[in-house]
Amino acid sequence: MKNIIKQLLLLLPLLLLTSCFDILDKINVKADGSGEYSLILNASKSKTRLASISKMETINGKKVPKRSEIEAKINEAARIFKATPGISNVKTSMDFDNYIIKLSCNFKKIENINAGLEQLKAKNIVGKMVPVQLYSQSPEKKTFTRNKVSSFKNDYDKMSKAEKEVFNDAKYTSVMQFENTIKTQTNNAYLLSPNKKAVKLEALVLDFVLQKKQLQNTILFQ
């Protein structure tokens, strides 16, 4: 596995060099199925170490990506998303002082996000193992589904001790907000908001890699 963070997530190769980072994956879905998607990669807790690493050519045998390379990769991802039918208002933000990268966009239907990710994979912006069919929605059945993703345990088991340490404190948060009121959900690991219009799942990235926790969830609306 050449670059597991790049394969599992998006962009920011510098994350491979530190285990202190957070990922926020957020969607806000309107009653008509349109909405907003955002992804935030936050390595601010490791900014001092990353600032030092960024001045190096290599570390632990791995090439340290230049700021220009990271910016080029993110800008290319934004261009691909902009060209995806159903996706609009694509925005990126890169804070290299605190090492926080944001990507957001609007969609006509949630499957547009899947299509955008498919294009990123086709253009080699993300690795071949990145799951792309993340969401599906059925207005007729009043359901919204966070689809099941494959296990990466076998790949993790093949990694060196140093590579595995990348995941020690890495955290992932999924937030799904809706205009419609939630009636039931199939994965109670997601916390239901008091107004029953949002769910949240937070755990270590390693919990998902080792399948200790599942992202899959089907939400039924009232």
What is the full per-residue pLDDT of the chain (222 aa) written as tens digits?
333 333 343 334 455 555 577 889 899 999 999 999 998 888 877 777 766 766 666 656 666 667 777 788 888 888 888 999 999 999 988 888 888 888 899 999 999 999 988 888 787 776 665 667 889 999 899 999 999 876 677 777 877 776 677 777 788 899 999 999 999 999 999 999 999 999 999 988 888 878 888 889 999 999
User: 7 near 129, Cβ under 8 Å?
Assistant: yes
What is the rounded (10 degree) CA torsion for 23, 212, 180, 35?
30
Neighbours of 122 (CB within 10 A): 11
Token couple for 113? 């996000």
Predicted structure pTM score: 0.82
What contacts 175, CB < 8 A, 6 or more positions away? 24, 25, 26, 27, 198, 199, 200
Residue written as token pair 């589904």: 145
Nearest by Cα to 14 from 104, 96, 81: 96
Interhelix angle for 67-82 vs 111-122, to 10°? 130
